[in-house]
Structure 1
């Protein structure tokens, strides 16, 4: 099915692990989901980096990207993202240069400044004590970009990243705040905003990105992607039922200080008795996400497009693979309908 509608649509996947599943099950489902969404006309498929997280099997995005790129033929495949504080820029350049050489024109390298894990695990990854300084991420990003340059503009020209030279993927800056938006603009790179983490700053971040954008050799005008949680169903009641696991998982993650365990079943989520404070927490986390029937999905995606999204990326977690694929199918159909439906004027204005 060819992509249609007002903007491209894409997938963000963290290989969610459900209760009763193994990490191997989740990884196999990611490959199957990539194939299914490619058939539905999705544009790109990104894998998130998480560590020490029982509910997410995507701890090694570069490996999974290679598997998914090999199992598909048209999708752009990439990282959403590689958490640069955890890695030496040289290693990232070698990994993604290899991927770009094997799958030319199909690899994206999304870079994030957060560690994507707890402080103890971050220290184990970096093998160094203490947090990174505020200026380290921009310096790391510039160093990384230099390794892909055939003129070797990395800090030490004696160190060459093979096969990164001449095999540069499309590089993105990811973020959920204003500083990442400004960095992406100043470097002339595309920007991916995490609406699922900080919905309150979506509009200001997109504005900051466009105002700070400086054309570069790879991008002559700003290009912004917005990612959000999506759970689409034919009826509001079905969407509410299917969203139960992500609601309970979000609550438990907040209550535990950030630890994300395996996603509960729909039955377990339905049986949980939420207090008033619990509901306030869940609403703060998911209240502005794209969860509902077709009408709700179309309306909320249209608002994000109108806010300045050149592309929309969906992260969907549900209790089983079939309902997850169905949610992506409904989303694709509703975004396509935005081009001619009653909300077309809203998204174009």
Structure 2
């Protein structure tokens, strides 16, 4: 099998499975970060979710600090921080501190949507006036500005000033794609839950891209849902809980991640079965040959510069094995075995001077 010749990375949500606990889920995420670093993955991101019993990654900066301390060279970051939920100053201080503690290893992926229900969003921002899409450019500019200067009210974000992480824009539609392109920023697209928008959004990003101090050319990362196992049947069995969990979320009853047996025994009605089948149609699920073909097809269609893999299964050991199989298929190189020439295949998009402007 051919080397894909692009970096592979990981998105993890610290899934809390039925019969488990948030503490165990977070421990599993830290162990997964260690293992994927050993395998040669480029970066490890965690996502912000609130009011969801089955996801423990509600506070990415706290978890990122632990991940960075538990690993040596892998980039770690947020995929992402949902800016409408937070004051830009707070985000700048948190990620400035992370960058100061772990120089050159912190990614700040920013999303423009709350990513949660309206009641939870109001509790996070402590106001009934929710931020809209129209507020995002101003909020984002304020956030980025804190890393290079005081704002117009003389507020200094300490220790953000001079400690700027690697800033990304995240998206699942064309809006963030265009903003990322116009600002000359790297762009991460959520193919794993918005597959119909993937190609149009990437096209917009590349069309709108303007070179910046940060990037001279577009840099697009695609995040795909992948479950790899010894064969197709086993992979579909392990993927079952992810489908049922997403169905329950859409029905307004989020809970812990079901076991594979619970998912296999669930009595789906016709509409529910169609919903889950549609969900799985845009995921890469199978044994080695199936997964290799799926990844190859996705990369050929998207021409992504980097692939981020997310694996939603009940048991952390099954998630680790899935990432191990993907690493084997992609022929990733462990950090210690990469030669100086190999490092060029794992680019950092950040300006080494730290003076990149958004």
TM-score by length of 2: 0.89
CA distance in 1, matches of 2:233, 2:280: 17
The question of 1:66 aligning with 2:73 is answered no
List aligned pairs for 1:209-220, cutoff 5 A. Answer: 209-220=205-216
1:298 to 271, 292, 299: 292
What secondary structure, in the 3-state scheme, does the structure 1 residue paired with 2:76 have? Answer: strand
The question of 1:336 aligning with 2:331 is answered yes
CA distance in 2, matches of 1:140, 1:132: 10
Indicate if the aligned counterparts of 1:110 and 1:173 stay in contact, CA closer than 8 A: yes
Moved more, 18-27 or 246-255: 246-255
Q: Which residue in 1 is equivalent to 2:158?
A: 162
CA distance in 2, matches of 1:29, 1:126: 30
What is the root-mean-square deviation of aligned Cα atoms in Å? 1.3
Please, which runs of 5 or more residues in structure 1 have no aligned partner? Answer: 338-349
Cα deviation code 1:130-176 (max 9, x no counterpart): 33222111111111111111xx2x64251111111111000000010
List aligned pairs for 1:268-347, cutoff 5 A. Answer: 268-306=262-300, 307-336=302-331
After the TM superposition, list the runs of 4 or more consecutive aligned residues in structure 1 that deviate by more than 6 angstroms.
none
List aligned pairs for 1:118-197, cutoff 5 A. Answer: 118-149=117-148, 152=149, 155-156=151-152, 158-197=154-193
Cα deviation code 1:220-250 (max 9, x no counterpart): 1110110011100121111111111111112
TM-score by length of 1: 0.92
What secondary structure, in the 3-state scheme, does the structure 1 residue paired with 2:133 have? Answer: coil
CA distance in 2, matches of 1:334, 1:89: 40
CA distance in 1, matches of 2:185, 2:144: 11
Q: Which has the higher contact order (CA 8 A, sep 6+)?
A: 2
What secondary structure, in the 3-state scheme, does the structure 2 residue paired with 1:243 have? Answer: helix
CA shift, 1:304, in A, is 2.1
CA shift, 1:285, in A, is 2.1
What secondary structure, in the 3-state scheme, does the structure 2 residue paired with 1:203 have? Answer: helix
CA distance in 2, matches of 1:155, 1:110: 22
Indicate if the aligned counterparts of 1:203 and 1:308 stay in contact, CA closer than 8 A: no
Equivalent pairs, count: 329
CA shift, 1:203, in A, is 0.6
CA shift, 1:7, in A, is 1.1
Q: Which residue in 1 is equivalent to 2:244?
A: 248
Indicate if the aligned counterparts of 2:228 and 2:323 stay in contact, CA closer than 8 A: yes
CA distance in 2, matches of 1:130, 1:145: 23
CA shift, 1:219, in A, is 1.4
Indicate if the aligned counterparts of 1:228 and 1:315 stay in contact, CA closer than 8 A: yes
Q: Which residue in 2 is equivalent to 1:231?
A: 227
What secondary structure, in the 3-state scheme, does the structure 2 residue paired with 1:260 have? Answer: coil
Please, which runs of 5 or more residues in structure 2 have no aligned partner? Answer: 333-358
Moved more, 13-22 or 157-166: 157-166
CA shift, 1:320, in A, is 1.4
CA distance in 1, matches of 2:304, 2:61: 26
CA distance in 1, matches of 2:129, 2:216: 38
